Structure 1
């Protein structure tokens, strides 16, 4: 039987292995992608974080502690993948993936600068990119407090998108 053509080859044709060596020289190892060196006008658009308007969950309880308590009382099932109990070898950080969005009533937006001022941590520590890994003083053993919803890793929420496009529109000649 003849081999069927791979439709991906028409979209992504094979190239010699050295075709991206210039990226390695300029940007580093590229294990999860390539980050070009910052340009003088480069900026980060930070994903939204939220916190309770009025403290409802104790700030000292982390997402991981809450998750472990639910595992212990049987109200949630363990996450098993390939025979490995992920709950035994990982930490529930409280962060998520995908599109950020306002979590609803009772929560207010938490600015990164406000959290930095509150914790004494830099907004983004040297050597890190903006992510859930920032603000180590706000977390307990890598897990955010239940009173906060940390930034997602992914797309911007509508509010941030609208503010970004408005700012760019103001600064862009017609």
Structure 2
């Protein structure tokens, strides 16, 4: 049986950590998020491409965000497995719900509220001011929906690893 208290607590903490890193980086160096498929096509086409240093920095930022998403989900699922003794199916559901907590918060708070609704000046790439992509809510929803198969596979792998580790320790 799922532990909703742990699920909500870990999901909220990881979502806030993920969003904090995104906002901190976006506020200081928004171009780190100028990645094909992560911004609407009109904005990506109009913005100057990342230089080599920016590409390396962007890769590091994405690595940190993936570490929060995957590492945080693994930690939460592993500790849940240790304390609950539940099977693979419940661990899979736990891992999936943790990931969905993080990415849904990102979609609603970062993408829709901050980027689409508020669109602060620091979030607009030079040369892309006024483009319709900044108000394209559906773009972000589609990006998040495309992530779902990877989240399912990730949750499956994380649940397996957590179960294996919990039984070994």
TM-score, scaled to structure 2? 0.27
Where relative contact order (Cα < 8 A, 6+ residues apart) is larger, the structure is 2
Counting strand residues as a fraction of each chain, which structure ranks higher? 1
Counting helix residues as a fraction of each chain, which structure ranks higher? 2
The structure with the larger Rg is 1
